[in-house]
Structure 1
Amino acid sequence: MRHEQSFYGPLADPAADAGHRDHPPRMGFFTDTSICIGCKACEVACKEWNNVPEDGLDLLGMSFDNTGMLGASSWRHVAFIEQQRPLGDQDAGLSGLPTGPTGTDATAAAVADALPAAERGGGDLGTAPVHLGFPSFDLPGAAVGAEGRTDFRWLMSSDVCKHCTHAGCLDVCPTGALFRTEFGTVVVQEDICNGCGYCVSGCPYGVIDRRPDDGRAWKCTLCYDRLRGDMEPACAQACPTKSIQFGRLDELRERAARRVTELHEAGVGEARLYGHDPQDGVGGDGAFFLLLDQPEVYGLPPDPVVPTRDLAQMWKYAGMAASALLVASATAFVSGGRR
């Protein structure tokens, strides 16, 4: 098996580090946000399979986003990010436009030139004008015509627990409720969790959360029960566009690299991978993403660092400080006794 490089050493293997011998390959998610359509099938499938309780039906004033963020009752969260930018070649109904989402003046000019000649049937794509019965308030994309629809684009992304190579939540759990599986994933055992909340502050992504009714922590398990039954996780199974891809982590990384190359060659220069690098502040993620903009746009930290990364060094310095204090105290005591 090919091991990963990380700040913990040249052969970081989370399952082996946790004591699993002859374990299967590390499994994970690759989420290609460039083909996410925001259908939320992953959210529904996750809740149905894992018996995750309903967590609200309010739209929160943010497009069709009714979950807002990951939490104890939202193990998958589909984000809808609106940007005042041309659609580029993402709209199949427009022809002659530049390939890929860009915000340059040249792209805007090309969009303006192509629109008058673009044929828009509207029926098949669902773009025929519809009176909604309430004012649009000049929101991005509120106009029903072809020209109005190019004023903005949606970035859609299904977020999930990253199942870090070096998981801060796992490091700080005092009861052993969190454990590393033979697949390299991180799972919470709700019957052992005492609700202390240390794991919440130990996650660099703000993923893990506690439910208000009993205070216990919950998060994505990467469908551990399904993995043990040789099935793929429910969210990946339900994704209609295969935006969520499940498999061996090393193979997913190779596939993701090829996908980025394809997008760059097609003119989508903003395509980038997030969480794939074993040299980052968490040793690489078990769930990583292809993004079409900066991580901050998606609500992701640009440079995540596991809080416990420097824990050994901190204890070393604390021990040195304690030793120095003891020596100083002993010296003062002896000097005082002589006087």
Structure 2
Amino acid sequence: MAERMGFFTDTSICIGCKACEVACKEWNDVPDDGFVFRATSYDNTGSLGADTWRHVAFIEQPSRGGDGDGGGEGIEGWLMSSDVCKHCTHAACLDVCPTGALFRTEFDTVVVQADVCNGCGYCVPACPYGVIDRRERDGRAFKCTMCYDRQLGGLEPACAKACPTDSIQFGPLEELRARAEERVERLRGEGKPQARLYGADPGDGVGGDGAFFLLLDEPEVYGLPPDPVVTTRDLPAMWRWAAGAALSMAGVVAVSFLGSGRGR
């Protein structure tokens, strides 16, 4: 196994240019999103999905002080965040895939093999972050591969390569975590006590993420679950219970059969 690689996305320096989205689509030949104008935000792609593997969210921060036109609620500022598959340490999508289409690479990332996927969709509800989705055209599941093919060639993923502010950083996961901790301390020292890391803790509900983030507000503001857990955590206990129930039933059947035999 090679050294574990990952993403550190520093949302404090994201400018919302969406260069990462474009680079991801171009390199991975990801289809367009339909060019649907939602009229709810300047964010034109909406969310992660089968046809959006990197998504830059535009989050409006309302101001209660008025909008300068005689009162009312205005916009104080914006939070920008380039979201992506988290490449969980304990990945529920891997647990539920019946065909082996999902596999863990030598870089400890999680990849979907489209030519093996049968479109069952089990991985979609299994993901605690709502990342994986199926394409309507053929039903197969797709998500970020962390540019597995580029990593094999010694290259960084296309999104990180294209990011003009270095908001998306790629490298050995442990090095990124140390760098991120330093960045958080620096921001707090500059008067931003709300700065925090999300997904960097190996002790969280998914064992830590291979793609983690520096946030400037609560996770919910960014549309992220505050306490994600691996959705298959109870499967071993459920299988043990099912096996015990099956053995008990077999015992009942055996006793009934023997009893009926003696009666004859």
TM-score of the aligned structures, taking structure 1 as reference length: 0.73
Q: Find the aligned partners of 1:28 and 1:175 in 2 and give their Cα distance.
A: 26
Report matched runs for 1:98-117 at 5 Å: none
Report matched runs for 1:1-339 at 5 Å: 23-85=1-63, 151-338=75-262
Distance 1:148 1:29, change over 3 A: farther
Q: Which amino acid aligns with 1:323?
A: L
Partners of 1:56 and 1:66 within 8 A in 2: no
Which residue is equivalent to 1:121?
none
Offset, 1:330: 2.9
Q: Find the aligned partners of 2:20 and 2:74 in 1 and give their Cα distance.
A: 28
Q: Find the aligned partners of 2:181 and 2:207 in 1 and give their Cα distance.
A: 18
Q: Find the aligned partners of 2:84 and 2:57 in 1 and give their Cα distance.
A: 11
Secondary structure in structure 2 of the residue aligned to 1:84 = strand
In structure 2, runs of 5+ residues without a counterpart are none
Partners of 1:233 and 1:246 within 8 A in 2: yes
Secondary structure in structure 1 of the residue aligned to 2:57 = strand
Q: Find the aligned partners of 1:269 and 1:309 in 2 and give their Cα distance.
A: 34
Partners of 2:62 and 2:73 within 8 A in 1: no
Structure of greater Rg: 1
Partners of 2:48 and 2:54 within 8 A in 1: yes
Q: Find the aligned partners of 1:234 and 1:159 in 2 and give their Cα distance.
A: 14
Q: Find the aligned partners of 1:148 and 1:228 in 2 and give their Cα distance.
A: 54
Identical counterparts, % of pairs: 69
Q: Which amino acid aligns with 1:264?
A: R
Q: Find the aligned partners of 1:58 and 1:250 in 2 and give their Cα distance.
A: 39
How many aligned positions are there?
A: 262
Offset, 1:326: 2.1
Offset, 1:332: 3.7
Q: Find the aligned partners of 1:77 and 1:151 in 2 and give their Cα distance.
A: 22
Q: Which amino acid aligns with 2:249?
A: L
Q: Find the aligned partners of 1:149 and 1:223 in 2 and give their Cα distance.
A: 42
Q: Which amino acid aligns with 1:43?
A: E
Offset, 1:275: 0.6
Offset, 1:329: 3.1
Q: Find the aligned partners of 2:59 and 2:199 in 1 and give their Cα distance.
A: 20
Q: Find the aligned partners of 2:218 and 2:238 in 1 and give their Cα distance.
A: 32
Q: Find the aligned partners of 2:74 and 2:172 in 1 and give their Cα distance.
A: 38
Distance 1:208 1:31, change over 3 A: same
Secondary structure in structure 2 of the residue aligned to 1:29 = strand
Deviations 1:16-64 (A, max 9, x none): xxxxxxx221000000111111110100110111111111333422322
Partners of 1:236 and 1:242 within 8 A in 2: yes
Distance 1:204 1:151, change over 3 A: closer
Partners of 2:206 and 2:228 within 8 A in 1: yes
Deviations 1:213-262 (A, max 9, x none): 11111110000111111111010011111111111000000011111111
Q: Which amino acid aligns with 1:55?
A: D
Q: Find the aligned partners of 1:197 and 1:150 in 2 and give their Cα distance.
A: 41
Q: Find the aligned partners of 2:158 and 2:94 in 1 and give their Cα distance.
A: 24
Q: Find the aligned partners of 1:25 and 1:273 in 2 and give their Cα distance.
A: 22
In structure 1, runs of 5+ residues without a counterpart are 1-22, 87-107, 109-139
